[in-house]
Chains A and B, each alone.
Chain A
């Protein structure tokens, strides 16, 4: 069971992800609504796992991922992307993301990705 930071610009998606994580026994220790906030919250909270949206205002998920990996090369990050953003997902994996979840998703898929990232 892990302490998780949930990052998505949509409050609805943060709730959906949070509910899925809590149902799997994880704890949501913080949320962020854009990439810049995600980096700040990561430094503050040092979560065991971060879920990161790709398309966000101010700073997108890929830029935030690069900064988080620079802060903590052992960071465990799972990307959440919309259908059709596979190219960006590959870039995210190259940057250090452990797995990705395609929206719209089932809670079981989120827990599977989180479980793999934590293994």
Chain B
């Protein structure tokens, strides 16, 4: 479930770049064993398929109706046809394939972070579904299937993920390894991430995309400062080199959650001798002041 949700979220974020403010997240459904995910596909709809080909295997098929494909293509810069013609042009189909390619590359990058290994994707295969009933045969089967709905610029869109068991097992193991210790007496927020691959993908059911993502473990880090180096300088840095950063020692540090700057604060040393941050300000939507976050430093 959460694997599907996190992939869908990465995809939605890329679509936001093409149609800002016009991407609505829908529901994530884990299909029961044996059920085919390729039902009720739109006649003459567009299907763009991108597979994971190295690191893990699995397939992702993005399906939208012809109007949705045309809206997306135009948002990406393809000119509108002179007259309304139901058939999509080669350029429109290519744009939809490229949208799938770019969004699945982002999803693969997110999976690479969890697995600690590069996950590669195939070039997209984009086609018009003149025989939607043949899609199941076309795209094959996997142990698990996840269906996620979106609305893009008012048009429905569906992402179907075919997830082999080996992928689920590897993700579960990786998340187990990166999970933090659960807080004493609390419910195991850290261990919950393990459900992403193990029970989560196999237990069936439907959740909103927001709810499906709520107990995913995220990487949290603090940033002391930054600088820029030419690639040549970085490659030639000797051991013992001193690299100046852009901030004074007493300036606030930035708190990052999964790459997003989430707040600012000051460094503390806990009673256990570990670094922590006293959060002075949060930039995220659920701001709470006076929070202390223990975090590995980067």
Report the nearest B residue to A57, measured CB to CB: B123
Is B77 a contact partner of A82 (Cβ separation < 8 A)? no
Name the interface size band of chain B.
20 to 34
Q: Given A12-B76, A16-B77, A55-B123, do A82 and B91 touch, yes or no (CB 8 Å)?
A: no
Report the nearest A residue to B113, measured CB to CB: A84
Is B109 a contact partner of A55 (Cβ separation < 8 A)? no
Q: Which of B17, B94, B110 contacts A104 (CB 8 A)?
A: B17
* A13 close to chain B: CB less than 8 A: yes
Is A11 a contact partner of B102 (Cβ separation < 8 A)? no
Chain A neighbourhood of B41, CB < 8 A: none
Q: Given A83-B106, A87-B118, do A13 and B123 touch, yes or no (CB 8 Å)?
A: no
Report the nearest A residue to B13, measured CB to CB: A83
Nearest CB on A from B183, distance (A): 32
Is A104 a contact partner of B118 (Cβ separation < 8 A)? no
Encoded as 1 (CB less than 8 Å from any B CB) or 0, chain A from 66 to 86 comes to 000000000000000111110
Chain B neighbourhood of A81, CB < 8 A: 105
Q: Given A12-B95, A55-B123, A83-B14, do A103 and B102 touch, yes or no (CB 8 Å)?
A: yes
Is A84 a contact partner of B122 (Cβ separation < 8 A)? no
Q: Which of B91, B108, B231 contacts A11 (CB 8 A)?
A: B91
CA distance A87 to B101 in the complex (A): 17
Chain B neighbourhood of A15, CB < 8 A: 91
Chain A neighbourhood of B106, CB < 8 A: 82-84
* A93 close to chain B: CB less than 8 A: yes
Chain A neighbourhood of B78, CB < 8 A: 12
CA distance A118 to B106 in the complex (A): 30
* A9 close to chain B: CB less than 8 A: yes
Chain A neighbourhood of B105, CB < 8 A: 55, 81-85
**Secondary structure of the B contact surface, majority rule:** helix
Encoded as 1 (CB less than 8 Å from any B CB) or 0, chain A from 13 to 41 comes to 10110000000000000000000000000
Is A10 a contact partner of B77 (Cβ separation < 8 A)? no
- Interface size in chain A (residues, C-beta < 8 A): 19
Q: Which of B17, B97, B108, B109 contacts A10 (CB 8 A)?
A: B97
* A117 close to chain B: CB less than 8 A: no
Chain A neighbourhood of B77, CB < 8 A: 16
Is A83 a contact partner of B102 (Cβ separation < 8 A)? yes
Q: Given A10-B94, A93-B231, do A82 and B123 touch, yes or no (CB 8 Å)?
A: no
Encoded as 1 (CB less than 8 Å from any B CB) or 0, chain A from 44 to 70 comes to 000000000001110000000000000
Is B122 a contact partner of A55 (Cβ separation < 8 A)? yes
Count chain A CB atoms within 10 A of each CB in B101, B102, B105, B108 and give the residue with the most: B102
Report the nearest B residue to A16, measured CB to CB: B77
Nearest CB on A from B25, distance (A): 19
* B121 close to chain A: CB less than 8 A: yes
Chain B neighbourhood of A9, CB < 8 A: 123
* B90 close to chain A: CB less than 8 A: yes
Encoded as 1 (CB less than 8 Å from any A CB) or 0, chain B from 97 to 133 comes to 1100110011011101000001011111000000000
Is B90 a contact partner of A84 (Cβ separation < 8 A)? no
Nearest CB on A from B6, distance (A): 13
Chain A neighbourhood of B18, CB < 8 A: 104
Nearest CB on A from B242, distance (A): 24
**Residues in chain A within 8 A of chain B (CB atoms):** 9-13, 15-16, 55-57, 81-85, 87, 93, 103-104
Other than A12-B97, A82-B101, A84-B105, give 10 A-B pairs with Cβ distance below 8 A.
A9-B123, A13-B94, A55-B105, A55-B123, A82-B106, A83-B102, A84-B112, A87-B112, A103-B98, A104-B76
10 A–B contacts from the bound complex (CB under 8 Å): A10-B94, A12-B78, A16-B77, A57-B123, A82-B105, A82-B106, A84-B105, A85-B105, A103-B102, A104-B18
